[in-house]
Structure 1
Amino acid sequence: MARAFRATTRGYKADLETHERRLISQLCADVISLLERRGEQITDGAAESAADQGSAAGDDVFAHFRRELAGLGVGLEDSAASQEAEPAGLAAPEDPVLARLLPEAAEDPQEAAQLRRLTEASLRESKLAGLRTARMLLESDPVTLTEEQAPIFGRALNDVRLTLATRLGIEDEADAEQIHQMAGSSQAATTEQFMAEVYAFTTWLQETLFSAMLELLPDDGDEIGSAEEGAE
């Protein structure tokens, strides 16, 4: 039986059954696959776009001369303008899970596309690194986290929860409560009930980790007292 995360002198510990650790690790692997495919799709799309542009330029026998004239500052304003045009933005992912893991950073569609082009890759790589770290940490029994690893593990659990929540159609507190009731009603007989149980378990595990982390936060009064003692 799983035992909640607890604060220790060396960080945080949780006792999980082997099948529980394997389950969470596999869920992390599933999210990793989603994020990696997103990166591959973007890379393939960029390569196709570059190939199309190269082919179009090659078909134009006057392209070289236009570039030379533009370099000399002679006419061809339309060519110069096309060279100075802003690169296209990046469209949001169609998969609702990816759309939730990699949300829009602005309400305006054009601004959101530009921001996504600039920031999505780093966000995606950060999530991938965290999920891979979580899988590594889940290999130990008990699961043991240092102060530095705890927030990374917590964020990985959150990405798993977001993935499950999206697949289960959880949009608000009422939906979440219904899923928790489904998880605690009886033994899982359907895929949805099994997912509900996994969602509830992942939620519980994340909450126990954050609660344990809060236990080790310094009290404001203690900080003030330490500062006063240091001043003396």
Structure 2
Amino acid sequence: MAKAFNAGRRGITGFLETAERELLRKLFADIVTMLEPDTPAHEDPLAALIGLDMDVTPPSDPALRRLLPDAVKDDADSALEFRQLTERSLRETKIGALRAASLDLEKEKLVLDPDAAKHWSMALNDVRLVLAERLEIRDEADAERVHQVQDWGDAEDVESYLSLVYNFVSWLQESLVQAMLAQLKSAK
């Protein structure tokens, strides 16, 4: 199978078809919409600067909760306190990576420097997390079920289509990670 990303002397080069770019643009935009906070940044400049959000609550959407999990298990008060201190900045970081990756899709030739590769890996990971939640991937058996859908002609329903998209994004992420590792090896 061909690679979507290859390591080179000038960075990581991506090879994406027009339809693939459009699909990624839409996926990145969907995740940005999910991550945008419901309330504006705090009026207090210091609170806004550090990302403090006392009004935050755990997400009700399981996919969003997968992107913004509780940092402390088995202690709801500590988990909420940590969420209040970190969630807004985490959302902003994720949104920034998704938007940066989306902007890269506008370039005729996709060449990623280390920062852009990091943004891409974050963006692809967030898309995969959301798709995995929507597809109810919990273990290897669930993942195998999703990987059985191999052809766009097999996409008879929403789950089949999402499975194909999940497999495509997984392939992209794998290719990108391999290219990033190759870059690290060549730098040594």
TM-score by length of 1: 0.70
Q: Which structure: greater helix fraction?
A: 1
How many angstroms apart in 2 are the aligned matches of 1:91 and 1:13?
A: 40
Q: Which of 123, 127, 148 in structure 2 is aligned with 1:160?
A: 127
Match of 1:11 in 2: 11
Mark the structure with the bigger radius of gyration: 1
Q: What do residues 149-180 of structure 1 show as CA deviations (whole Å, max 9, x unaligned)?
A: 10111110000111111111111222111101
Listed as ranges, the matches of 1:116-195 within 5 Å are: 116-184=83-151, 186-195=153-162
CA shift, 1:5, in A, is: 0.5
Which ranges in structure 2 are unaligned for 5 or more consecutive residues? 44-52
Match of 1:203 in 2: 170
How many angstroms apart in 2 are the aligned matches of 1:213 and 1:162?
A: 20
Q: What do residues 18-73 of structure 1 show as CA deviations (whole Å, max 9, x unaligned)?
A: 0100101100000001111xx12x449x89xxxxxxxxxxxxxxxxxxxxxxxxxx
The total of aligned residue pairs comes to: 178
How many angstroms apart in 2 are the aligned matches of 1:171 and 1:186?
A: 26
Q: What do residues 95-118 of structure 1 show as CA deviations (whole Å, max 9, x unaligned)?
A: 111100001010110000011001
CA contact (8 A) 2:3 2:175 kept: no
CA shift, 1:88, in A, is: 6.0
Distance 1:177 1:185, change over 3 A: farther
Match of 2:48 in 1: none
Are 1:104 and 2:70 an aligned pair?
A: yes
Aligned-residue CA RMSD in angstroms? 2.5
How many angstroms apart in 2 are the aligned matches of 1:218 and 1:143?
A: 21
CA shift, 1:142, in A, is: 3.5
Match of 1:71 in 2: none
CA shift, 1:140, in A, is: 2.1
How many angstroms apart in 2 are the aligned matches of 1:105 and 1:3?
A: 35
- The residue identity in structure 1 corresponding to 2:88 is A
